[in-house]
Structure 1
Amino acid sequence: MATQQQATDEAEIRRHIDKLVEGLEKKDLEALRRLYAPDIVSFDVQPPLQHVGVDAKLANWTPVFTAFETVTYEVRDLTVTVGGDVAFAHGFGCLGGTLKDGTAIGGMWVRATHCLRKIGGTWLIAHDQVSVPLDVTTGAGVTDLQP
């Protein structure tokens, strides 16, 4: 059974993920910067294998924000587990929107895991991993699945 502190922390982390969605939809890199630990290690869908540091993490969003006129991001099935000053959350995310040329993009669902640390009383994302399933026979990512 969760303690009151765990329940409070879980609610804070869910708000944190909501702020992540809001920052993406507003294309606000500075709002996103405040959500990540300075030394974040990110295993994102874009090469290379890892992005180290908040500037490298934010650089992943620059091409998206440049290509899209409007951005939408949906999170589904978010599960949060808290233990002291560390926590993890996992679920599914879908990035979509409208490109600058007017093309509507419905989006692709990915699996996302966020590992958080409570630093100075604030939950920050210290590690994240975003992935798509892999077809082992072809080596291609499977991008048409939905939760």
Structure 2
Amino acid sequence: MRAVHQNWFDATARKDLDRLMAHIADDIVSYEHEAPLQYHGVDAVREVCGRGLDWTGGAVGWDVPDMTVLIRDDLAVVWGLNRMQAELPDGTSDESWSRGTRVFRKRGDRWEMVHQHVSFPYAPETGAAVTDLRP
């Protein structure tokens, strides 16, 4: 699981969308940061990931510094705080943290992500997402 994630971190830095999709199941259901509430299928996830890579003006990266991995038979669950870093189109840089949980299923000899949930906490008094928190 850590090798799969390292592949994703490296592919993100290279903006290599094909490599990013290598461990995504065709039937994935993903809850992303942006609307709609659910993305069904690898093509939908590819589209949202592509938009994210295109949105940044320059360098982009992400990692999960305190990743927890639990594997039982053909299922694996990975969770932790996601750190996203991006050089924005105006030349400034941004860092944000969000929560992430990923579920994998071993199919044959490879692990595929079948579910992902990434989210920002919200402020109960306003209902607005809070994107500037740091651990």
TM-score, normalized by the shorter chain, greater than 0.5: yes
Q: CA shift at 1:39, angstroms?
A: 0.8
For the pair shown, the structure with the greater C-alpha radius of gyration is: 1
Residue of structure 2 equivalent to 1:15: 3
SS in 2 for 1:23: helix
Residue of structure 2 equivalent to 1:77: 66
**Residue type at the aligned position of 1:141:** A
- Any stretches of 5+ residues in structure 1 without a counterpart? 1-12
Residue of structure 1 equivalent to 2:87: 98
SS in 2 for 1:141: coil
**Residue type at the aligned position of 1:43:** Y
Residue of structure 2 equivalent to 1:63: 51
Instruction: From 102, 121, 125, give the equivalent of 1:133.
Output: 121
Residue of structure 1 equivalent to 2:36: 48
Structure 1 consecutive aligned stretches of length 4 or more whose deviation exceeds 6 Å: none
State percent identity of aligned pairs: 36
SS in 2 for 1:25: helix
Q: Tell me, yes or no, if structure 1 residue 115 matches structure 2 residue 103.
A: yes
Residue of structure 2 equivalent to 1:5: none
Q: CA shift at 1:101, angstroms?
A: 3.5
CA–CA separation in structure 1 for the residues paired with 2:55 and 2:32: 18
Q: CA shift at 1:123, angstroms?
A: 0.9
Structure with the bigger percentage of strand: 1
